[in-house]
Amino acid sequence: MSKQLILVSHGQFCEGLKQSTEMIMGPQDNIHTVSLLPAEGPEEFQAKFLDTIQGLDDFVVFADLLGGTPCNVVSKLILEGREIDLYAGMNMPMVIRFINDALLGTTSRYDESTSEYIQYVNDVLAGMSDDEDE
């Protein structure tokens, strides 16, 4: 079984991120989502997360927000001795990097270099105008 990705978030952000990524990269059977719904607490979320990872040997977890309940629940499992790679602040470039790693058989530190995709577009456009003036 190939490496699996678990996206965890408040509300349905993780499901939307998976769907949006699939628009670009195609269907991804190795990406799973676990949403913390408004009526749920940490216990319900943990039960859903544990159910999702049951039987998975090789996986990484991307969480929406450092310090939020989904990230905290997984962090607690790590502190209890579970071997889980957990990254907070998930975004589409991270998910695409995961997919590319799976295709190429490589492994990344998903917290490195994804910040390069965060750009103030006004500056990018201004730089393009400056290049045209030369």
- pLDDT tens digits along 88-125: 999 999 999 999 999 999 988 888 767 778 888 899 89
Identify the CATH number of the domain in which residue 52 sits: 3.40.50.510
CB 112 within 8 A of CB 46: no
Per-residue pLDDT of 11-56, as tens digits, reads: 999 999 999 999 999 999 999 999 999 999 999 999 999 999 999 9
pTM: 0.91
Would the pLDDT of 78 be above 70?
A: yes
**Mean pLDDT estimate for the chain:** 93
Structure confidence at residue 134 (pLDDT): 61
For residue 33, how many other CB atoms are within 10 A of its CB? Answer: 19
Full residue range of the structural domain in which residue 87 is found? 2-131
Q: Identify the pLDDT of residue 132.
A: 66
DSSP 8-class letter at 33: E
Number of domains the chain contains = 1
- In SS3 terms, 43-64 reads as HHHHHHHHHHHCCCCCEEEEEC
